[in-house]
Structures are given as C-alpha cells and as structure tokens.
Amino acid sequence: MPLVSLKNVTKIYANGVTALQSLTRDFEAGSFTVVIGPSGAGKSTLLRTINGLETPSAGEVHVDGQPVTHRDLRSIRAKIGMVFQEFNLVDRLNVMTNVLAGRLAHRHWSWSLGYLFSKSDYEMAHQALDRVGLVDKAWSRADQLSGGQRQRVGIARAICQQPRLILADEPVASLDPGSAVEVMDLLAGICREDGIAVVANLHQLDLTKRYADRVIALRAGRVIYDGKVINMDDATFKEIYESNKDTHGKRHEHTDLVLAHA
Amino acid sequence: MAMNVDFQPLPRKPANFIPIWLCAVCAILYAMSWHLSLSFGDLVSGIGDTGDYISQFFHPDFSLGHKYVWLMIETVCTALWGTAIACIVALVLSPLAASTLTPHPLIYRATREVLNFMRAMPDMLLALMLVSAIGLGPLPGAFALGIHTAGFLGKFYSELLERVPRGRYEALAATGAGFVQTTMIAGYPSILREMAGYTFYIFDRNIRMASVLGLVGAGGIGLELESTLGFFLYNKASAIIIIIFATLFVVDALSSTIRRRLT
C-alpha cells in the first residue's frame, strides 16, 4: 500500500482558478520526489491537499491508509512534517520552543497555556536539533539566526514530529546556493536514513537532478511528466517551463511512455 | 525651445475635489454652530472671567495632600483592576475574533458583535448600574472599566493577531496543533510588544476615567474633585489635578520604558 495516494483530486479555488485537474498519483515511503513546474502550475496546492491545508473540490486523498478528512486531521497531520519557503518560525520564541511545536499534536491543548512540554518532548527536540547541527543555538531567539539556519530549525520542527512524510514547499527558494545544498542534503539524509517519504517543490534543475528519485512535472494542474530524473535532459526541463499550450497533448504521450519505464 | 513639441501630451489631469470637500466641511461646521447657537462673542467677552478662574489654579493648596495621594492610589488600583479584567477578557475573546485564527466564521461574527457591544456601553453608565447593583466603592468602578475597555482591547488584540503572517499559523496547523495551541505558540508571542503598548494606553485611559468615576460613587479621587469644585475651592482642586497629572506622567514613563525593553 502506498504511503500517500491521491485519486482524481481536483482543486478549484473560490476565485475560479483550477489548481489541480483530476490528479491521480501515489507516493511510496523512502522515496524523494521533486515536483517541478512553472509558478501557478499547482505544485503548492498538491502538497497542501496531502496534509489537508487545502480541501480538494473533488477526489480523495489517503495518507497511510487513512482518508484525509476534517475529522481525523490532527492525527494525520501529526504524521506529516511540513517545511516552508518562508520558514514560518515564531520569531520571538527561542529555537527550542519552535522545534517543540512539532510535538503539539501529541499534547493536550491545556499544556500550551503554560508553554509546557514533557521531558520526552525535550529529548526529541534535542535530538532533532542535533541532527540539523543547531544544538548550540537552542536558546537563541529564532530571529537571530541566518536564513539557512532558520530553515534548518524548520526541518528540526518537522523531524520532531517523527513523521512518515515530509512536505517541503520550495524549501530553498529564499536561500543562498550554499545553504540550499545544506538544506537539501538534510532532507535527502532524513529520507534515506529514516525511510520516510519526502515530497519537495523545486525550481532548480541542478538540485532536482542531484536529489530526486522521482520527478513529477506539473503544468496547469496536470501531470505532464512523471518518472526518473535520469530520463530527463535539459531540453525536457526547458520544455516543462515553456509556456507553450500546444505541448499538453504531446507531453501526455511522452508521460505515458516514461511511466511505462518507471 | 521647440523641445516640448516632441512630448507625448499628458493625459487629462484628474479633477481635484479636495477644495470642494473643505468648503463643505466648513459650511457644515458653521451650520452646526448656528444650530447650537454657539456664540464665539461670549467666549471673547468671557476671557477676563476665565483668566480669573484659571489664576486661582496657580496656587495649589496641598494641606490635605496625604488624603489626595491616598485617594489617588485607590484610583490607580481601580484602573489597574479594570485593565486586568479587560486584558483577561480580551485574551480569551480576541483569537475568536481574528479572521485568520477563528475556529468558525460564525464564532468570528458573534465575538466581534460582543466586543462592539462592550465598547458601546459607556463606562459611566456601567458604573452607575453596578453601583446600584453591588454598592458604593471601587469594585463597581473596576468592573465598569473592565467591561468597557475589554471591548477595546479585544478589538486591538484581534487586529494584531490578524496582521501576523498567515504562514505562521499554517505551520502550526500543519503539525496538527489545535486552535488554543496555535494561538498560544504562534499568536501571542508574535504580537507581544504591540499588545503591551495598547494595554498601557488602556491603563492610562482607565486612570483618567477612574479619576471621574467617583462622581457616581464608584470610588477614587473623583468625588473629592467634584466636591472641591462644587465649593469653589479652586486651590484644592488644583492640588488634586496636579496629583492626577503627576500620576499619569509616571505611568507614561513606565509604559515607554517597558515597551522599549520588549523587542
């Protein structure tokens, strides 16, 4: 059974924009998937429907065999870490508390009134910080860190959830090339060592080639390529980002071909 | 010289209505003063009397100073309790009234209306009602101030919570955190500094208000001020006003120090 499965998922926003069109895909544990495509192709929406930040207009999403519905959102989200382009840390809290936020799904709400966490939560957060190499910054305020460090705190927060899946929404888009490689190395390491699935949105061909086990290309809410990164050359990548409407039909044939290989 | 020939002509200048609006405002103000039969002539002819009146304030009589200071402390305590009640009520209600945090749009609307209602109830009226309900003293004053200013603080806090980048709430929601957890971890810490500023403003306002709540029997220095003025004891009234002013000065200095430290 796949870890994540999307069946005929369609998302139409209130303003009439169709972000996903009847998308059906599975994601396996232990695999690093990179989603590429021009802005507005539906990459973020794809990620956000998996953890229920967006509700599909039609179709079903299952994570770990559980349907993603409003009722079970807490237990499903507990299994899914998410990393954001803008890090989304709480600036005025220290790094430790930001990482401990990954344990909230397992604690009663009343604990948060006193910012209380259990000893085991602190141990997990400590471990997570050790993994991203920021133990010495544990008591620094989040806004005193550099961009790369802040994204590593974001990843530590995700690790602290002990997730089955990490969703990374353009995790390196606000980082310099050096920090970007650091962050991608971390994500790839977690994916490999812990055997969890990572789904990341990227714009950079070099990083995609270096880290992806599987590439999914989206355009206008449809999958136009799905397969191993090895089968992609620069020309294919360029074509994905070209705004030529005519390619839709052609690429579908090609996609089917690649799928048969994969 | 012939330079401007090559220029593309400017599009038509948009009409400017500001002078018309200014004239309209002046006309309305004049009409109102006429309707209320406000006479500025009286103001000018009364300057002599006003000056006489004010000059008496320059000789404050502190013979009952210790009593005034004690009453002022009671006034500050009333204001402090009122602000504390307002702060607690606002902390509970504001996340419900913040569009980006609220658990349900209906709760959002309902809480907004509750806050509007609190703001709409004048604290003087509330104090009058509470004095008749629970008796004379600073307690009804504190509750009156608390209920009225909870409406303000609730609105201020909720607007601050709405200005926090939505992504921070989403990041918490994505971990599986609930409404209270998201508010406590991502909401309040993000707005702490601005929250302190508004709360001190309300405290300052409550001290000024508590200074007159005594008029309806709700404790504090107000009753004393009223009776000195009633007996034309301007020297004593002047001493009371100076004490109120000094208190507000200290509170203001304190609030700006604390706000500077909260970065």
Domain shared by A178 and A58, yes or no: yes
- pLDDT band at B105; cut points 50, 70, 90: very high
- pLDDT band at B134; cut points 50, 70, 90: confident
Mean pLDDT of B233-259: 86
Residue A173 touches partner B, C-beta closer than 8 Å? no
Taking the model in full, what pTM does it have? 0.81
Across the interface, whether the CB atoms of B178 and A101 are under 8 A apart is answered no
Ranges A68-72, B17-21, B146-150: which has the least confidence = A68-72
Domain shared by A261 and A172, yes or no: yes
What's the full length of chain B, in residues? 263
Tokens of B231: 């007996």
Domain shared by A139 and A120, yes or no: yes
Within 8 A by CB and 6+ apart from A169, the residues are A43, A44, A47, A48, A82, A83, A84, A85, A200, A201
Task: Give which of A64, A68, A88 to mutate to test B binding, by max B Cβ within 10 Å.
Answer: A88
What mean pLDDT value characterizes chain B? 87
- A258 within a domain of the structure (yes/no): yes
How many structural domains does chain A have? 2
Interface of A with B in 103-142 (CB under 8 A): 104-105, 107, 109-110, 112-113, 115
The pLDDT of residue B160 is above 60 = yes
Tokens of B218: 């709700």
Cβ contact A109:A157 at 8 Å: no
The residue of chain B with its CA nearest to that of A75 is B176
- A218 within a domain of the structure (yes/no): yes
Q: Please give, rounded to a whole number of angstroms, the shortest distance from the CA of B161 to a CA of chain A.
A: 13
Domain shared by A227 and A244, yes or no: yes
Domain shared by A12 and A71, yes or no: yes
Within 8 A by CB and 6+ apart from A27, the residues are A2, A3, A4, A5, A33, A165, A197, A199
Cβ contact A149:A136 at 8 Å: no
Residues of B with CB below 8 A from A154's CB? 171
Q: What is the pLDDT, as a whole number, of residue A253?
A: 41
Residue A143 touches partner B, C-beta closer than 8 Å? no
pLDDT (tens, 9 = 90+) of chain A, 262 residues, equals: 788 889 989 899 988 888 888 889 999 888 899 998 888 888 899 999 998 888 899 889 989 888 888 778 888 999 999 999 999 999 999 999 999 999 998 999 989 898 989 999 999 999 999 999 999 998 999 999 998 899 999 999 999 999 999 999 999 988 888 889 999 999 999 998 888 999 999 988 888 888 888 989 888 888 888 888 776 777 777 777 765 444 444 444 444 334 434 3
CATH number at residue A248: 3.40.50.300
The residue of chain B with its CA nearest to that of A74 is B176
- A28 within a domain of the structure (yes/no): yes
Task: Give which of B175, B179, B180, B183 to mutate to test A binding, by max A Cβ within 10 Å.
Answer: B175
Across the interface, whether the CB atoms of B184 and A78 are under 8 A apart is answered no
CA A84 to chain centre: 8
Across the interface, whether the CB atoms of A92 and B189 are under 8 A apart is answered yes
Residue B176 touches partner A, C-beta closer than 8 Å? yes
Across the interface, whether the CB atoms of A53 and B189 are under 8 A apart is answered no
- A84 within a domain of the structure (yes/no): no
% of chain B exceeding 90 in pLDDT: 40
Q: Which helix (H) or strand (E) holds B38?
A: none
- A228 within a domain of the structure (yes/no): yes
Helices (H), B121-165: 123-134, 138-163
The residue of chain A with its CA nearest to that of B168 is A88
Last residue of a domain, one of A162, A182, A210: A162
- pLDDT band at B149; cut points 50, 70, 90: very high
Residue B185 touches partner A, C-beta closer than 8 Å? yes
Last residue of a domain, one of A128, A162, A196: A162
- pLDDT band at B223; cut points 50, 70, 90: confident
The residue of chain A with its CA nearest to that of B189 is A92
Within 8 A by CB and 6+ apart from A136, the residues are none
CA dihedral B213, B216, B220, B223 (to 10 degrees): 110
Range of the domain at A19: 1-79+167-262
Which CATH code fits B68-262? 1.10.3720.10
Domain shared by A17 and A94, yes or no: no
pLDDT in tens, B64-89: 778 888 888 888 888 999 999 999 99
Task: Give which of A50, A104, A169 to mutate to test B binding, by max B Cβ within 10 Å.
Answer: A104
Residue B91 touches partner A, C-beta closer than 8 Å? no
Domain shared by A171 and A262, yes or no: yes
Across the interface, whether the CB atoms of A115 and B180 are under 8 A apart is answered no
Domain shared by A192 and A227, yes or no: yes
Residues of A with CB below 8 A from B186's CB? 90, 101
Domain shared by A11 and A112, yes or no: no
Ranges A17-26, A109-118, B40-49, B152-161: which has the least confidence = B40-49
Last residue of a domain, one of A146, A162, A178: A162
Domain shared by A106 and A44, yes or no: no
d(C-alpha B73, C-alpha B70), whole Å: 5
Residue B122 touches partner A, C-beta closer than 8 Å? no
Measure CB to CB from residue A105 to each of B177, B186, B189 and give the nearest one.
Answer: B177
d(C-alpha B176, C-alpha B262), whole Å: 30
Residues of B with CB below 8 A from A82's CB? 171, 174-175
Residue B196 touches partner A, C-beta closer than 8 Å? no
∠ CA(B120), CA(B125), CA(B130), 5° rounding? 115
- pLDDT band at B179; cut points 50, 70, 90: very high
Q: What is the phi/psi pair of residue A36, to 5°?
A: -120, 170
Domain shared by A50 and A128, yes or no: no
Domain shared by A75 and A12, yes or no: yes
Q: What is the pLDDT, as a whole number, of residue B5?
A: 65
- pLDDT band at B4; cut points 50, 70, 90: low
Residue A84 touches partner B, C-beta closer than 8 Å? yes
Cβ contact A105:A74 at 8 Å: yes
The secondary structure of residue B63, as a DSSP letter, is: T
